[in-house]
Amino acid sequence: SIEVDSILDGVVTVRLDGTCDGCPSSDATLTYGVEAALRDHWTNFRRVDLVEGSAPVDPAKAELDCVTVPDDVRRDRPAETPAPAPVLLQIRGHEQ
C-alpha cells in the first residue's frame, strides 16, 4: 500500500508498505501513477517524495504487476487536508 505521510506546500510525502515496499515497480508506480494523477488534478502539486527507510528492491517481488483499480470499486476516504482523490492501484501477483 502507499500511505500519505504528509502534505506540505505541494509536496506529498508517502511511505510504501506491504507488497509495495521493496517492489521493483514502486518507482514507476509513484511516477506514472501517483505523481501523474496528482499533477493532473491538483494545480498546487510540486512533487512526490518517498519517506526515507523504504526497503531495497526485493527480487522475489519481480513478478508483481500494478494495475489501475476500476472506478466502480474505488472507495472515497477523507483526506487530512483538502486534496484530490488519488488514482488507486491494485497489486496483482502477491496472492497465495
Q: Is this model's pTM higher than 0.75 or not?
A: no
Kindly state the cell numbers that stand for 96: 497465495
Q: What is the per-residue pLDDT for 86?
A: 57
Q: What is the per-residue pLDDT for 55?
A: 62
Per-residue pLDDT of the chain (96 residues; tens, 9 = 90+): 788 888 899 998 888 877 777 777 788 888 888 888 888 888 888 999 888 766 666 676 666 665 555 555 555 554 445 555 555 555 555 444
Q: What is the per-residue pLDDT for 78?
A: 47
